[in-house]
Chains A and B, each alone.
Chain A
């Protein structure tokens, strides 16, 4: 894509340079990314200026810039196109390249083999979707492989089982949803994944999907351009089965819990109330709120391929866990495997181990079952 095409596609001439995109950008200060200037450079120079890897790959695709733009320009989509140019030229960090290659080869960016994809189910009785089920639980790469995130999958399976939700999984047939691949700018690979996944979904006549990953949720819902199936995030399904009395609690949990809105769930898809309702339904739990909450939630820096590239500078996740303790929270609950992972790391780097626990909503609920 050349400068002229970028200008056309992203309506760059309509930008009034108010700066709300850059001001809203969670990484602009730490990483020096100034997305407004990037866009201006293309218009002013008629060419794409090359910036440091640290800047270009710091964007988490949290989408705040696009959500707040008064001219409905979507700066992060522009940035993803700039990444595409870098990917085309092979000017990417080795870790990104490996993640992309692994996704193409193994269906996951974690460089793990396909046959291990349902390792997390060990000891649980979970049926394959081909055995017939009302709903597909799309696990996603991180909960399938990451030892910490596997607990999300196990807890969610437990909750769904308890609520008598008839679900199945794809097991080793499951592929990467493509969310992060899209964010890294490898749009060819993304299209390939969409095709592959749609083939598998159609093969199993999938009409309903639940997923514990906001990135998969967002991608299926907004980027697949499909009407075959409906997708729900687990926070939506869980709050519904609780409300319907299908999921009940037998234990009291005397805990102060604070909830962090994942960008892909909250800002990008407006799911704010369901996770809070679910948390508040647990007997004994007191729900706290961050100051920067809902539409102003602070990004954890896990999205947009950031799980596969190291950007120097202080971490927003550290700010998040520190503040959680300042508000008096004992458990920081989120609803995204990336948030979970960045927060777990931040607990260690801030030395807050033992002071605060990080949990996915499903894990929290399963504590009280």
Chain B
């Protein structure tokens, strides 16, 4: 509403009241005719009527015609919940030339006829009271105008696994600017660590690398790798983001990725994060050969110059003069209209299940480690060997549901592990056809397209599927092999079998590194601690914070096909405000009477949305509402000791009038 604008004081108030039958939903319990008749006698009511379905086209026509015929300037509709049809009726008012805020709805279905089905008399009385109360408020309604904000046509994408990469490419291809922030030295996420992908067995790197390479090349994408989001302020359309770019100590522009620095680096025994500790790297490194960007990074924690003040060999040998020990962390500020969270997952820490002897036995490994052992670019060059002795395994067991479907750890199903182990079983058979492979499962979940078929194929290849969660892994004294204890639940028999390798199909858990961004944006988490979507079915990639979207395993465990589909969905949703160029916000928000405000900041302390702030002037700072962030919750209104704050559409006078009408003794309603 523009300041000071009101209905012309001299203008007569003419209210129209429409009581809906909702077929029999309302009319079977409430005497709608009686309610309409009662309403028609109330002050300021010019016209009152009942109608079988007010929301139907004839019903809406009745409203439109009555507005014109009776020159109505306020409308009260008693029907179902405003959540159903308030938007419908607002449009009806607008079509008849009335401001849409001059509508007041009364819910006499969910809150009256349905809950008082067996007491029609009392229900009718209650409906009368509710309608009278709405009429009292309607008399005081004033026109309000929606708020509009300009949108910065760019998006921040946090996390550059396959989810973040896909979302970024989609948005960039639509013509919007993207800032893609990735914590790690390279983009790619977990998909870069996989060897092949189920169910089609495409080589993971072969399908991922082209997308990875497209990212820095795209004119609309600004890739900020080895970077983290430091702060986010603002609101949909107008986020201000500060990003910290960590120092690589190697100049990204100059580095030609020749690798001489790593070759000559004397510190060579650092467990490679990318290979999950199964291989080693130098203190100067790229995580993997296809890394994007291909720039080398000096790891400050292990570099001799930073730890002992000696060496700097890399600096001497670099033919491109790219090594720069004076590099410092940089702060970059960007403005974006929308944000996509794609921070992915961590693998469940299998040490939490001591019965499987991970860490005790070198030949007990996690499923992701197994991927690295299969990979041609992995620590063994793709040779599948036992980590303990480098010899080919002849008998391998896969243990499913490690940490998943388990109320002590992760109650949920991690969704990808069944298929990942089936894939692994196939890969073992491919490399060593004579190897014996057993998969120990509780239920095999092969739900995706082509998954059941792939499972059947792997069964045909001779893999032994055993129904039973493996109970324990141990070693007999002086044995090289692992003994696995399990119940074959289909036989009801407990067995012990020796294996020379055991792979734990660990579940997926939320990234711990996602916590800062979750706190910054005040995003909610679902009970499984993954990010919570705005609605599980109808708004699956939105969050409850306008302008912030989710995709990939950040939202919950899923396979690559689902991740990619969801990433495209998030990109599409995130582009809507950008394409529109403006966002429209509800006009029902708080405003501050500057004359009454004493700048005490109580409002600031109660607002959980950071939507009200006392401006820092020399003295006499006044509270100001951030119209885009205000959600109309009313906390500041109630807390303000000076009564300086009002909610548009819910003023104190309006609410008091409603109360007065409601509290009127029932006898006075006849």
Bound together, the chains give a CA A18 to CA B355 distance in angstroms of 15
B407 within 8 A of A: yes
Produce 1/0 per residue, A266-300, CB < 8 A to B: 00000000000000000000000001101110000
- Decide yes or no whether B401 CB sits under 8 A from chain A: yes
Q: Shortest Cβ distance from A58 into chain B, in angstroms?
A: 13
A332 to chain B, nearest CB (A): 14
In the complex, what distance in Å separates the CA atom of A180 from the CA atom of B443?
37
Interface centre among A16, A20, A22, A326 (most CB of B within 10 A): A20
Interchain nearest-CB distance for A106 vs B (Å) = 39
Whether the pair A294, B354 counts as a contact (CB closer than 8 A) is: yes
Query: Closest approach, in angstroms, between the C-beta of B485 and any C-beta of chain A?
Result: 5
Cα separation A36 to B472 with both chains bound (whole Å): 16
In the complex with contacts A18-B468, A19-B469, A19-B489, A28-B477 CB distance below 8 A: no
Residue tally, chain A, CB below 8 Å to B: 26
Which chain A residues lie closer than 8 Å to B485 at the CB level?
Answer: 23-24
Whether B442 and A18, one on each chain, are in contact in the complex, defined by CB atoms closer than 8 angstroms, is yes
Say whether B478 contacts A326, CB under 8 Å.
yes
Nearest Cβ in chain A — how far from B483, in angstroms? 9
Pick from B354, B474, B478, B489: contact of A36, CB below 8 A. Answer: B489
Q: Does B486 lie at the interface of the complex (its beta carbon under 8 Å from any beta carbon of A)? A: yes
A355 within 8 A of B: no
Nearest CB on B from A354, distance (A):
20
CA distance A296 to B354 in the complex (A): 7
Q: A20 to chain B: which residues have CB within 8 Å?
A: 468-471, 487
The CA of A235 and the CA of B235, in the complex, are separated in Å by 59
- Asked if A17 is at the interface (CB within 8 A of a chain B CB), the reply is yes
Q: Are B475 and A291 in contact (CB under 8 A)?
A: yes
Interface string of B37-79 (1 = CB under 8 A from A): 0000000000000000000000000000000000000000000
Question: For window 108-140 of chain A, which residues contact chain B by CB distance below 8 Å?
Answer: none
Alpha-carbon distance A29/B494, docked complex (angstroms): 6
Is the C-beta of A37 less than 8 angstroms from some C-beta in chain B?
yes
Q: Does A155 sit at the interface, judged by CB under 8 A?
A: no
**Is B492 engaged at the interface, CB distance under 8 Å to the other chain?**
yes
Among candidates B357, B405, B487, residue contacting A296 with C-beta atoms closer than 8 Å: B357
Q: Given A23-B486, A29-B494, is A326 in contact with B477 using a C-beta cutoff of 8 Å? A: yes
Please measure, in the bound complex, the distance between the C-alpha atom of A24 and the C-alpha atom of B477, giving whole angstroms: 20
Option from A16, A23, A37, A291 in Cβ contact (under 8 Å) with B471: A23
A252 at interface (Cβ–Cβ under 8 A)?
no
CB-CB under 8 A for A72 and B472, given A16-B442, A34-B492 = no
B526 within 8 A of A: no
Contact digits for A299-334, partner B, Cβ 8 Å, 1 yes 0 no = 000000000000000000000000100110000000
- Bound together, the chains give a CA A323 to CA B479 distance in angstroms of 12
Contact A296 B408, beta carbon cutoff 8 Å? no
Q: For the complex, is A70 an interface residue (Cβ under 8 Å from B)?
A: yes
- Closest residue on chain A to residue B407 by CB atoms: A72
Inter-chain contact A18/B401, CB cutoff 8 Å: yes
Answer yes or no: A9 CB below 8 A from chain B CBs.
no
B476: interface (CB < 8 Å): yes
- B653 on interface, CB distance cutoff 8 Å: no
* Residues on A with beta carbons closer than 8 Å to the beta carbon of B470: 20, 23
Option from A22, A294, A323 in Cβ contact (under 8 Å) with B487: A22
Min CB gap B500→A, angstroms: 16
Q: Does A25 contact B (CB under 8 A)?
A: yes
A and B contact pairs by CB, cutoff 8 A, 12 listed: A17-B442, A18-B489, A19-B487, A20-B468, A23-B470, A23-B487, A24-B355, A24-B471, A29-B496, A70-B408, A295-B354, A323-B476
Interface pairs A-B: 5 shortest CB-CB: A23-B471, A19-B487, A70-B406, A18-B469, A19-B468
Interface set of A (CB-CB < 8 Å, partner B)? 16-20, 22-25, 28-29, 34, 36-37, 68, 70-72, 291-292, 294-296, 323, 326-327
With A19-B487, A22-B487 given, can you name 16 additional A-B contacts, CB distance below 8 Å? Answer: A19-B467, A19-B471, A19-B489, A20-B469, A20-B471, A23-B471, A23-B472, A24-B471, A28-B494, A36-B487, A70-B405, A70-B408, A71-B407, A294-B354, A296-B474, A323-B477
